[in-house]
């Protein structure tokens, strides 16, 4: 009688041995069904839609950095053929105008980058160009942050970021693409 009682009491314990199996099963399910996708990209704010086109030619040509990409994915920057690899340095020089040249931007806050492409331009090229232009601004902001606050731009508080952006505003205006191939 006594022995029986003991047995009953022992069987009350739940066997947790299979817990690991269950957890493994779930783990494998999640491993298989999911993908770690760090979604990254270039963030852009499009201008609101309006029927009237802003004509950049009305602006002082000195302040406009025009980039044209044709359907052969070739670049024409301010009327001169350029390589994508030179774009970043060229653009930075245009915005800051360290030597005070007559033909570059009066001051950074007045500089406008105008990007125009063909309907036949490759998306890859377009994004490369955009990446370089954005990279130019990022590098300028970093340099400014280093000069003013001795910090990396990303680590600055929002107010300081805004102050820098007011000084060197990012203006990339995109014109309606031209259609030279009937695409």
Partner 1 sequence: MSKFKKKRGNSTPGISTASLPDIVFMLLFFFMVVTVIRNAELKVDVKVPIASELKELEDKSLVTYMYIGKPLKRYQEDYGTAPQLQLNDKFAKVSQIPFFVEEKKLKVPERNRDKMTTSLRIDNDVTMGFVTDVKTELRKAGQLLVNYAASQGEVK
What burial class does residue 94 get, using C-beta atoms within 10 Å of its C-beta: 0-12 exposed, 13-18 middle, 19+ buried? buried
Q: Are 75 and 88 in contact (CB under 8 A)?
A: no
For position 14 contacting partner 1 by CB under 8 A, the verdict is no
Q: Cα dihedral angle (80, 84, 89, 91), rounded to 10 degrees?
A: 60
- The helix (H) or strand (E) run that includes residue 114 is strand 112-117
Residue of 1, 6, 20, 52 that binds partner 1 (CB under 8 A) = 20
For position 10 contacting partner 1 by CB under 8 A, the verdict is no
Q: Pick the closer one to partner 1 by CB: 61 or 85.
A: 85
For position 3 contacting partner 1 by CB under 8 A, the verdict is no
Q: How far is CA 3 from CA 8, 9, 10, 87, in A?
A: 9, 10, 11, 89
State the Cα–Cα distance between residues 82 and 93, nearest whole angstrom: 14
Candidates 173, 86, 69; CA nearest to 123 is 69
For position 144 contacting partner 1 by CB under 8 A, the verdict is no
> Which region among 3-11, 54-62, 105-113, 131-139 touches partner 1 (by CB under 8 A)?
131-139
Q: At 47, is the secondary structure helix, strand, or coil?
A: coil
Output the smallest distance, CB 48 to partner 1, in A: 7
Q: Pick the closer one to partner 1 by CB: 63 or 66.
A: 66
Angle of helix 123-149 relative to helix 84-96, nearest 10 degrees? 40
For position 89 contacting partner 1 by CB under 8 A, the verdict is no
Q: Pick the closer one to partner 1 by CB: 7 or 45.
A: 45
Residue of 35, 57, 58, 158 that binds partner 1 (CB under 8 A) = 35
The site for partner 1 (CB under 8 A) is made up of: 16-17, 19-20, 23-24, 26-27, 30-31, 33-49, 84-85, 117-124, 126-128, 130-132, 134-135, 138, 176-177, 179, 183
């Amino acid at each position: 009688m006594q022995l029986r009682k003991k047995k009953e009491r022992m069987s009350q314990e739940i066997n947790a041995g299979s817990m690991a199996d269950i957890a493994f099963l779930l783990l494998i399910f999640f491993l298989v069904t999911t993908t770690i996708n760090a979604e990254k990209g270039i963030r852009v704010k499009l201008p609101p839609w309006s029927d009237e086109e802003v004509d950049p030619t009305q602006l002082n040509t000195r302040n406009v950095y025009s980039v044209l990409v044709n359907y052969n994915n070739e670049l024409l920057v301010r009327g001169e053929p350029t390589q994508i690899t030179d774009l970043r340095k060229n653009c930075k020089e245009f915005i800051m105008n360290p030597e005070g040249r007559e033909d570059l931007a009066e001051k950074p806050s007045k500089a406008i980058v105008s990007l125009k492409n063909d309907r036949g331009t490759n998306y890859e090229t377009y994004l490369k160009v955009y990446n370089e232009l954005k990279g130019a601004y990022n590098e300028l902001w970093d340099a400014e942050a280093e000069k003013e606050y001795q910090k990396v731009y990303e680590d600055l508080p929002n107010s300081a970021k805004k102050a820098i952006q007011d000084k060197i505003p990012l203006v990339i205006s995109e014109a309606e693409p031209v259609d030279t191939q009937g695409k």
